[in-house]
Amino acid sequence: MQDSLNKNALIFGGASGIGWATACALIESGAMVTIADVRTPSERNGVLRPIRCDVRDAAQVRYAVHSATETAPLDWLVYSTGIQHYGSVVDTPVEEYDLVQSINARGAFLACHEAIPRMRKGSAIVLVSSVQALACQEGVAAYAASKGTLESLTRAIAVDHAKDNIRVNAVLPGTVDTPMVRSSAERFGGTDGLEQTLQQWGENHPLGRVAHADEIARLIAFLLSDKASFITGASYRADGGLLAQLAVRL
């Protein structure tokens, strides 16, 4: 990605999982990357700037954006912050629903609200959604609702800011080997063990496995790059064929 040289990127939720894999991919291609996260990444180098940020706090999001753009406008914005909560609309306490929405969806709004005025013409945004925005399992009402919000937000920003030559797209992963998924596997895996549970979950995908975070990061990097210069307002599934299949078995 030669067009990554000297690019200024900000990744919310970049300390682990898909966000961290994306940070590594962009750094390797020559970008300066700022990570905004409640955690500190385990690795650092000269082109990585970590900022502690709770995306529920508008002031902290504003500070992260302003810090990332002190010396140059922003070229790329990635929102990869998210939490999972399990339960139906009856089982989920209102406070838990509000928490999931505030981190998964409202935080993305805040990030774009602050970042877009400080982005160059020709810049790009990727919001990390989920296949559960389109089709979901049982007991994920809050999570699915938050990811569906990201889908609509992607289209709205794309339309509103096409005149500024700012592109925005969404990435919808299937099951990805991340700390959040591993935490869920430990919760629901029973006596099977973590690795066996991940293997079983992977078998739900036609490709027969869960994704690696760097596989999603490569798609994000492509959508940010000039190679995707005519792509905006789109949603890209990276789900191993999960939503292409019917539940019916012959």
Q: Are residues 185 and 124 in the same domain?
A: no
Handedness of CA 63, 67, 72, 78 (dihedral sign): negative
Q: Are residues 219 and 132 in the same domain?
A: yes
Contact (CB, 8 A) for 13 and 37: yes
Question: What is the per-residue pLDDT for 172?
Answer: 98
Q: Are residues 186 and 162 in the same domain?
A: no
Q: Are residues 69 and 185 in the same domain?
A: no
Residue 242 located in a structural domain? no
Q: What is the pLDDT of residues 84-105, one digit of tens each?
A: 999 999 999 999 999 999 999 9
Q: Any idea which residues carry the catalytic annotation?
A: 143
**Residues pairing with 33 in the sheet:** 9, 48
pLDDT band at 156 (very low <50, low <70, confident <90, very high): very high
Q: Total structural domains in the chain?
A: 2
pTM comes to: 0.93
Residue 244 located in a structural domain? no
Q: What is the CATH number of the domain that holds 130?
A: 3.40.50.720
Question: What is the per-residue pLDDT for 199?
Answer: 84
Q: Are residues 154 and 200 in the same domain?
A: no
Contact (CB, 8 A) for 53 and 81: no
Residue 207: φ, ψ to 5° = -75, -10
Residue 246 located in a structural domain? no
Q: Per-residue pLDDT averaged across 20-40, rounded?
A: 94
Question: What is the per-residue pLDDT for 47?
Answer: 75
Q: Are residues 120 and 229 in the same domain?
A: yes
Question: What is the per-residue pLDDT for 68?
Answer: 96
Q: Can you give the residue range of the structural domain that contains 117? A: 2-174+213-237
Q: Are residues 164 and 184 in the same domain?
A: no
Task: Please tell me whether residue 182 adopts helix, strand or coil conformation.
Answer: helix
Q: Are residues 146 and 184 in the same domain?
A: no
The DSSP call for residue 181 is H
Q: What is the pLDDT of residues 37-85, one digit of tens each?
A: 999 876 666 678 999 999 999 999 999 999 999 999 999 999 999 999 9
Residue indicated by tokens 């990061």: 217
User: How far apart are alpha carbons 128 and 12 in whole angstroms?
Assistant: 10
> Measured between alpha carbons, how far is residue 137 from residues 32, 143, 155, 170 in Å?
38, 11, 24, 20
Better pLDDT: 144 or 202:
144
Residue 243 located in a structural domain? no
**Does 1 score more than 60 pLDDT?**
no
Q: Are residues 59 and 181 in the same domain?
A: no
Contact (CB, 8 A) for 207 and 240: yes
